[in-house]
Structure 1
Amino acid sequence: MTRLLPLLCFILSFNVLAELRATGDLGIVIEREKGNALIVNTTKHTQLAKIEKLGDLSHASVVFSRDERYAFIFGRDGGLSKIDLLQDKLNKRIIQAGNSIGGAISQDGKLIAVSNYEPGGVKVFSSDTLELVADIPAVYGEGKRSKVVGLVDAPGQRFVFSLFDAGEIWLLDLKNPKTPAIKKFLNTGKQPYDAVIAEGRYYIAGLFGESGLALLDLWNPEAGVKRVLPDYVKDDEKLPVYKMPHLEGWAVAGDYLFVPAIGKHEVWIIDKRQWKLIKTIPVLGQPVFVMARPDARQIWVNFAFPDNNQVQIIDANELSLAKTLAPGKAVLHMEFTPRGEQVWLAIRDDNRLAVYDTETLEEIARLPADKPNGIFFSARAHKTGL
């Protein structure tokens, strides 16, 4: 028996090592209709687990803890779920509002902020316990509450968000969470509907109610909000909008921003040094996500119905269309692997995920998923504004 002990110890230690999992390899895929979250391995193209009954995930978004162990899922029903990616389980779930549209995690990873439609405002929670830290009602005018959109994290323990109904942008400083400091920028434009933060510095809100964009330079907030491209798209030039573009998927490549045009079959290219339009690229439908490969060499674009069975790729060097793909029925979301050698596509109406090689533009893997709509990889933990 004593001779067998070393062998038994080796076998036991080997089994423990075999079960270890690296967090940088992981991701979350949302099954929207069933309210499930799939934990996937992005290198092996495999599903590891399914976390069920997470509520209304029809507009779900996900952020990750800085150690990449936990995923925080924001549900449309006001649910906030904390998923343990290593133990394949729901750590905690709360209902924090009546209607939520997304959230963000603070620079130090200790705070989770959620933007709410109902009641309008932002709530901030401890990422450790999901206990409420701060409640910021989006009050404007004579006691009215606004829907909150375009919530992003910013350097300096700050969050930035827009008030859809009020046409305002608020800068929330949480260096001391017990005494939040708020700077309000009024009359920034009609109906800001989403926003992006470029390079951790420029907060840019798209405007649905009028032409143009609203720009706040976080390095120089005292300069106020600047209007960008106020005269580019006239109201009578717009087509019916089938799905709002997602500005958090805007592409930044060198000195250029690649921006989805609202109600038009175009991608705008903006010089971010002068904030001027330099070119428009005609595309086959209304863009939803316009996303840069991590090296910014390619820009991938998906579309609203009825053109959502196709994806187009823009060459960022030539500033022109390079390729059109037809991955399947209803391509809703795209996510690049951390260094960009592959891109994953959520193909809702085919009930599957597709993985493409971004160099050859060939499909290299498929995974089953029930009505997938969102793909989020753990590398997001180390990026500002996602």
Structure 2
Amino acid sequence: MIFWASLFVSLAASAGTPMDPASVYRSHCAACHGADRFGAMGPALLPESLERLRPDALLDVLRNGRPATQMQGFAGELGDATLDQLAGWLRTAPAGTPRWEQADIRASRVIYHAPGTLADRPVFSADPSNLFLVVESGTHHVTVLDGDKLEPIHRFRSRFALHGGPKFSRDGRYVFMASRDGWVSKYDLWNLTLVAEIRAGLNTRNLAVSDDGEWVTVGNTLPQTLVLLRAGDLSLERVYPVTGADGKSSRVSAVYDAAPRRAFIAALRDIPEVWEIPYAGKTAFTPRVIGLTDVLDDFFFDQSYRHILGASRSAAGQVIDLDAGRKVADLALTGMPHLGSGITWVRDGREVMASPNLKQGAISVIDMQTWKTVATIPTNGPGFFLRSHEATPYAWADAMMSPKRDTLQVIDKQTLAVVGSVTPSPGRTAAHVEFTRDGRYALVSLMEADGAIVVYDAETLKEVKRLPMDKPIGKYNVFNKTTRSSGTSH
């Protein structure tokens, strides 16, 4: 009966008669993506999982499949009307609220290598502190790059759609990665092998690793939870339902480690609160709730980790004093500042912070003592990333949400003038700069299916080499991340 039902659906759909999308899903998609759309061999297909995928991109995948994956295209089997309906249906929520309970989390955990069973020294000759992880989203792989020789030393398959940036243990040995559909992976960089995995949620925003290397916190948008894991083996310790004082639940906007405070800081997308969860001391693992006047979509720490600068998608920014537990200033910003990608440096003896803008071609420069905007730097267009390094006088800004997405501008950090630009490949998106440990080279992502990491001399802005990559959306240097360089996000 199942065969004949599936055959009927295929014949009707290919004949151009739109079919019930739920029936089409059961016949063509459920085997790989799960009957409940939570994911199985293939990724989850829930509205939260697809929110960053453009409608035309989703239809293209349904019609033509994904290269180098088991996702086949259905253009020759299902008619356009059926595929249109299926795409729309996938973006609607299931009839029942998706649930992912503690038992589900625990049952999902996989141990590949038990703690203490791998060698305590690198299996390669490269400097382990000058490695890069390059996230290639095209076919979902990660390349380990030697930052001295600027050559790949290893490449491995990742979970679908890594999100939020990988986080490193303090010694740089372990890296923790979260996928959009909730999988958390622990990878041993010294031994170039996966250690453990667990599914902490159905849709995940990002994760943070405690400075003492003992804990991992995962912020979810579905279900609306914070999940605390033991870093050693990724075993589940605790699930925090994210609920405000009024009983309303919320998605997590972002969670980060505040190392000097020995605490995790989480911003909430739907209720105006920030949570501080200590992982040491008498109040360990008990959330401290700070009420705000507006929600935060993302935020940025000052170098002391006493203040966070945050903004919502609909309003200007605010400064929160974590010691005082309250907002202490507003930020006079317009558009949609992307404070989570901000950087700091010292200018004229004063620390400043600079933020790109997702809606405007402008970079805001903020005095970190007065919280006033001291300059606005015009750019080629809205951008996502701003990066620098202590050893370079320049900051690099992209314009990846604009027609000039192929060009990065180079800004003098003292004069705040644009002093140069690079265009790795005309007409193709270039973004996300990261520097080698010593700041000598700047690595740029050519974010295309047949893209590359393009290496520039950070002083002369001349291209040094390019390494072919499959849509490299980000790259992360171990030393810069573990030392919390002021030129990159933490």
The TM-score with structure 1 as length reference comes to 0.86
Please give the residue correspondences for 1:36-47 in structure 2 after superposition, counting only pairs within 5 Å. 36-47=141-152
The C-alpha deviation readout for 1:193-220, integer Å capped at 9, x for no partner, is 111112023211122121x2121223x3
The C-alpha deviation readout for 1:89-139, integer Å capped at 9, x for no partner, is 211121111111112211212211211111123212122111122322211
> Any unmatched runs of 5+ in structure 1?
1-15, 239-243
CA contact (8 A) 2:266 2:275 kept: yes
- CA displacement at 1:141 relative to structure 2: 5.2
Moved more, 355-364 or 81-90: 81-90
Structure 1: how far apart are the matches of 2:461 and 2:136?
Answer: 25
Please give the residue correspondences for 1:138-177 in structure 2 after superposition, counting only pairs within 5 Å. 138-140=242-244, 142-154=246-258, 155-175=260-280
User: Equivalent residue of 1:117, what SS?
Assistant: strand
| Pair 1:340-2:415 in alignment | no
CA contact (8 A) 1:192 1:209 kept: no
> Residue in 1 aligned with 2:170?
66
> Residue in 1 aligned with 2:233?
129
Structure 2: how far apart are the matches of 1:178 and 1:281?
Answer: 43
Closer, same or farther: CA 18–114 of 1 in aligned 2, 3 Å: closer
> Residue in 2 aligned with 1:184?
289
RMSD: 2.3
- 2:324 aligned residue (196, 199, 221): 221
Structure 2: how far apart are the matches of 1:365 and 1:297?
Answer: 22
- Aligned-residue sequence identity (percent) comes to 26
> Residue in 2 aligned with 1:368?
468
Structure 1: how far apart are the matches of 2:382 and 2:143?
Answer: 29
Structure 1: how far apart are the matches of 2:329 and 2:240?
Answer: 26
Structure 2: how far apart are the matches of 1:193 and 1:357?
Answer: 34
Larger RCO (CA within 8 A; separation ≥ 6): 1
CA contact (8 A) 1:21 1:86 kept: no
Moved more, 127-136 or 367-376: 127-136
| Pair 1:315-2:420 in alignment | no
| Pair 1:353-2:456 in alignment | no
CA contact (8 A) 1:26 1:41 kept: yes
- CA displacement at 1:165 relative to structure 2: 0.7
The C-alpha deviation readout for 1:206-237, integer Å capped at 9, x for no partner, is 22121x2121223x324x1134225x43xxxx
> Residue in 2 aligned with 1:272?
368
Structure 2: how far apart are the matches of 1:208 and 1:99?
Answer: 20
Structure 1: how far apart are the matches of 2:310 and 2:123?
Answer: 47
- CA displacement at 1:70 relative to structure 2: 1.3
> Residue in 2 aligned with 1:8?
none
> Residue in 2 aligned with 1:107?
211
| Pair 1:299-2:402 in alignment | no
Structure 2: how far apart are the matches of 1:38 and 1:32?
Answer: 11
> Residue in 1 aligned with 2:384?
288
User: Equivalent residue of 1:139, what SS?
Assistant: coil
Structure 1: how far apart are the matches of 2:164 and 2:435?
Answer: 18
- CA displacement at 1:153 relative to structure 2: 1.0
Q: What letter corresponds to residue 354 of structure 1 in structure 2?
A: V
CA contact (8 A) 1:252 1:296 kept: no
CA contact (8 A) 1:56 1:75 kept: yes
Closer, same or farther: CA 177–120 of 1 in aligned 2, 3 Å: farther
CA contact (8 A) 2:389 2:439 kept: yes
- 1:249 aligned residue (323, 341, 348): 341
Structure 2: how far apart are the matches of 1:177 and 1:116?
Answer: 26
Structure 1: how far apart are the matches of 2:416 and 2:208?
Answer: 32
Structure 1: how far apart are the matches of 2:367 and 2:329?
Answer: 14
User: Equivalent residue of 2:208, what SS?
Assistant: strand
- 1:76 aligned residue (180, 201, 204): 180
> Any unmatched runs of 5+ in structure 2?
1-120
Moved more, 180-189 or 244-253: 244-253
Structure 1: how far apart are the matches of 2:266 and 2:182?
Answer: 17
User: Equivalent residue of 1:67, what SS?
Assistant: coil
Closer, same or farther: CA 128–278 of 1 in aligned 2, 3 Å: same
Counting strand residues as a fraction of each chain, which structure ranks higher? Answer: 1
Q: What letter corresponds to residue 473 of structure 2 in structure 1?
A: N
Counting helix residues as a fraction of each chain, which structure ranks higher? Answer: 2
